[in-house]
Amino acid sequence: MLVLQQLINGLILGSVYALFAIGLSLVWGILKILNMAHAAIFTWGATAAFFLLRWVPLPLYLLIPAMMLFTGLLAAIVDFLAFRPVRRQQRNPDDAELATLVTSLGAAAVLLAIDVKVTDNGAVLSYPDALFTIQRVTIAGITVTNLQIGMFVLAVVLSLSAAAFIKWNRTGKAMRAIAVNPDMAAMLGVNVDRLTIATIAVGGALAGAAGVLLGVAFHAIHSEMGEPLLLKAFAITILGSAGSVVGALVGGMLLGVIEASVLTFASASYRDAVSFGLIVVVLLQRPKGIFAGATGERL
């Protein structure tokens, strides 16, 4: 039973990993940007929620949308100020990929430096206990908290709606067109700049939701919280194919479950090696990921 309990915990945690990873995966798959600032945006979501709560005691169900709005906007600003000018300058896609990668590292450094400043040099904060009362529910010997259920449902609903949007909505279809060939999409009347910002904003919003959720779940917000998640998101993106939202969701849950199994059956010290090992194995055996399809060429 303990094993099953651990796996369920892993699955739920994995769904929040997925929420974070979707932004990275979308931006990578559609815009060919490996956005290192994604983790900083996530951290800003968690930190900003802390300060917002000091000011107005919002309930969690209002806090999350507010933070999604905030981080979505923040991500759009990062794109506008940093990525877009680089994209404009660089014609060769390989060079542009590298230049935006380093730009995003710079942007991440700026955002994190500010985060460290406002949180008293990177102190560990936590939300007030009144934000959410945790209750335990036991179903067939498995104990889950209402927070875990909420996290799981929210993560799944948000990811699936993002997936549905990209699959069926006109704007979503245009996004996929950009993934295949941005120049052709532009010729066919797609406003590439606007959709690029929209894609990054959607990813940022999902990261903000993940930030608040993990901040509540771990009782801790600090400026370093994003980095391990970024590394996990790399693994999830590779596992679930860049650009595929459903892939990221399944990949995230899979990673959560695998990590939980390693934690249960092996040792905690090797848990972090799992996501890195997964990257190597998947890239060598199935480089397009498990959910290849949806978006254009990947290698």
Partner 1 sequence: MDNVLGYVGLGAYTSLVIFILLNMMLAASIQVVMASGVFSMASVAFAAIGAYASADLTKYYDVSLGVGMLVAVAICMVIAPIFLVPAQRLQGMYLALATLAFVLVFQVFALNAANLTGGALGLFGIPILTTLPAVFLAAVACAYLLHITQSSRTGRALRTMRFDPQLATTFGINLLRYRLLVLELSAVLGAVSGAFTAHYLAFISPNLYGFGAVTTALSMAIFGGLHFWTGAYLGAGILTILPQLLLGLAGWSDLINGALIVAVMVFQPGGLLVGLSQAARFVRKRVPALAR
Nearer to partner 1, 172 or 243 (CB): 243
Which of 81/142 has CB closer to partner 1? 81
Give 148 or 237: the residue with its C-beta nearer to partner 1: 237
Provide, rounded to whole angstroms, the least separation between the CB of residue 270 and partner 1: 7
- Residue closer to partner 1 by CB (options 14, 29) is 29
Measure the CA–CA gap between 80 and 241, rounded to whole angstroms: 26
CB nearer partner 1, residue 149 or residue 266: 266
Q: Could you tell me which residues come within 8 angstroms of residue 191 by beta carbon, excluding any fewer than 6 positions away?
A: none
**Contact residues for partner 1, defined by CB under 8 A:** 28, 34, 36, 81-82, 85-86, 89-90, 94-103, 105-114, 116-117, 121, 227, 230-231, 234-235, 238, 269-270, 272-273, 276-277, 279-280, 283-284, 287, 298-299
Minimum CB separation of residue 129 from partner 1 in Å reads: 30
Minimum CB distance to partner 1, residue 26 (Å): 15
Cβ at position 161, least distance to partner 1 in Å: 27
User: Considering the complex, what minimum distance in angstroms separates the CB of residue 198 from partner 1?
Assistant: 21
Shortest Cβ 51–partner 1 spacing (Å): 18
When the beta carbons of 133 and 285 are compared against partner 1, the nearer one is 285
The smaller minimum CB distance to partner 1, of residues 113 and 164, is found at: 113
End-to-end CA distance of the chain: 42
Nearest distance from C-beta of residue 170 to partner 1, angstroms: 29
Amino acid (1-letter code) at residue 187: M
